[in-house]
Structure 1
Amino acid sequence: MGFSWFLLLFITLFFQFIDPTLSANGNSDLIQQTCKNTKYYDLCVSSLKSDSSSLKADSKLGLALIMVRVGMANATATNSYISSQILSVKNDTAPMRKVMRECADKYAFANDALQNSVQDLSSELYDYAYMHVMAAADYPNACRNAFKRYPGLVYPQELAVREEGLKHICDVVLGIIDALGF
């Protein structure tokens, strides 16, 4: 029994050196430990595990930067979605076209705020990074409020889902920043 245990240990260690993905368990532990500090644990874990660069992350700061990139991708995708919807708005609905342009701008601003947070995180200016992520999470509110200014315009369900997604991603980033010592 002692020899078989030793052989199993040797084979496991040997294959970890050949295939680094087998040793990703350490990063999985870092991901889980980091995500425990966030409001949306499952979103945090699934987002980080789906990004191959998280296997190389060796700190909470590295994971925070990855989550910020997830938020930037979400904001950019939403901006693109809204821009494509503007083209399908009929000419007789000028208020809708105006509101959709405003919403596209808000998601572009959210992306810019997240880009600023990357610079702040890289410089270990966590309070500024926190502020920029909070701003990114708030920009979708301005989009929702733009719809409220025009009676008869209905806030599209697809935008509501995307708004909630960006806010949740930002909440995850804020939780990680909190764990960094902010």
Structure 2
Amino acid sequence: MRPSPFIFLLLSLVFSHNIFHQPSVFVNGDMKLIQETCKNTKYYDLCVSSLKPNASSTKADTKGLALIMVGVGMANATATSSYLSSQLLSATPNDPVLKKVLRECADKYGYAADALQDSVQDLATDSYDYAYMHVMGASDYPNACRNAFKRYPGLAYPSELARREDGLKHICDVVLGMIDHLSW
């Protein structure tokens, strides 16, 4: 089951009302907490560039920043699932193997979005071990897609899909670094 537009609306309401407030030391409206939080992640530049344009980031605590990044990951996974579904529709009808692999990949990215959605609930209840597990799962679903292409030697793994896979994995790595920091 893929996240509905309602989930994204709910996430934006959560971020705008900052209901997941956890005391942190930062000056409202500056970038200090974002920079400090991103220093604890594997991809500092990705972290800052993802959080900086989000208006809720400057009012968020560390957990709120992690939730915003989870939302970025969900958007990435959902967009990739949609991209694969559109590729499925444009694939030639006489290529059942490609259609099968594209369908499988679209499903895997949908599962990644679901796993990230589960991590939102875990973060809300301070269940950091479970949140970590769900984000790790979301990060691993693209591997199943890549492996589906490998099972059929005649199919080349599309470079656009490889780029999207790396993007989701990097976003998940950022979230994992934030969860590590939260669980100290």
The two structures share one fold, judged by TM-score above 0.5: yes
Match of 2:68 among 66, 84, 104: 66
**Counterpart residue number, 2:50:** 47
Map Cα deviations across residues 16-65 of structure 1 (whole Å, 9 max, x no partner).
xxxxxxx621xx100000000000000000000021211221x1101000
Aligned positions, number: 158
The TM-score, its normalising length taken from structure 1, stands at: 0.85
1:140 aligns with 2:142: yes
Overall identity of the aligned pairs, in %: 71
What is the letter of the counterpart of residue 109 of structure 1?
Y
CA–CA separation in structure 2 for the residues paired with 1:44 and 1:64: 10
CA–CA separation in structure 2 for the residues paired with 1:169 and 1:51: 15
CA–CA separation in structure 1 for the residues paired with 2:172 and 2:106: 18
What is the letter of the counterpart of residue 40 of structure 2?
N
**Counterpart residue number, 1:36:** 39
CA–CA separation in structure 1 for the residues paired with 2:55 and 2:102: 34
Secondary structure, aligned partner of 1:50: coil
**Counterpart residue number, 2:157:** 155
The TM-score, its normalising length taken from structure 2, stands at: 0.84
Map Cα deviations across residues 140-178 of structure 1 (whole Å, 9 max, x no partner).
000000001112000000000000000000000000000
CA–CA separation in structure 2 for the residues paired with 1:40 and 1:138: 18
- Unpaired runs of 5+ in structure 2? 1-27
CA–CA separation in structure 1 for the residues paired with 2:111 and 2:77: 9
On the 8 A contact 2:80/2:164 being kept in 1, the answer is yes
- Unpaired runs of 5+ in structure 1? 1-22
What is the letter of the counterpart of residue 47 of structure 1?
S
What is the letter of the counterpart of residue 113 of structure 1?
A
CA–CA separation in structure 2 for the residues paired with 1:164 and 1:52: 26
- What stretches of structure 1 move > 6 A for 4+ residues in a row? none
**Counterpart residue number, 2:29:** 24
CA–CA separation in structure 1 for the residues paired with 2:54 and 2:96: 40
1:81 aligns with 2:86: no
What is the letter of the counterpart of residue 36 of structure 1?
K
